[in-house]
Amino acid sequence: MKARLPKGYSNGGAGNMQQIARQAQKMQEAMEVATEELEAKEYSATAGGNAVKVTVTGKMEVKSIEIEPEVIDPDDAEMLSDLIIAATNEALRAAATEKEDTMSSLSGGLNIPGLF
């Protein structure tokens, strides 16, 4: 017994596959451009009332750490370490969130493993 397609559907399988392949290629090209743009961006975050400022790149690499001299207390290095960690994590979160939002908008919300 042969399966029948509902009314309005044609058996244009090869044509549809080519169209899907073209759309996928356009989406991949757009994602590559977006990735390059995101990797070129910088994200900064502060902690301790601007006592520590960390800047990271879209490649998730720390670019700079600025520390106000008044927070450098040799007797409390742990507090300074905590401020650096907090600012770094916040900057990395900002970069990751923007990348995720951008890629999600380009893919129409599709979650394609390994694509980004």
* 91 domain-assigned: yes
* 112 domain-assigned: no
pLDDT tens digits, 37-60: 999 999 999 999 999 999 999 999
At 50 the pLDDT is 94
* 60 domain-assigned: yes
Specify the higher pLDDT residue, 92 or 19: 92
Parent domain of 87: 42-98
Counting Cβ atoms within 10 Å, is residue 9 exposed (0-12), middle (13-18) or buried (19+)?
A: exposed
CATH number at residue 64: 3.30.1310.10
Specify the higher pLDDT residue, 83 or 10: 83
**Confidence grade of residue 5 (pLDDT, cut at 50, 70, 90):** low
Tally of structural domains, the chain: 1
Q: Is residue 66's pLDDT more than 90?
A: yes
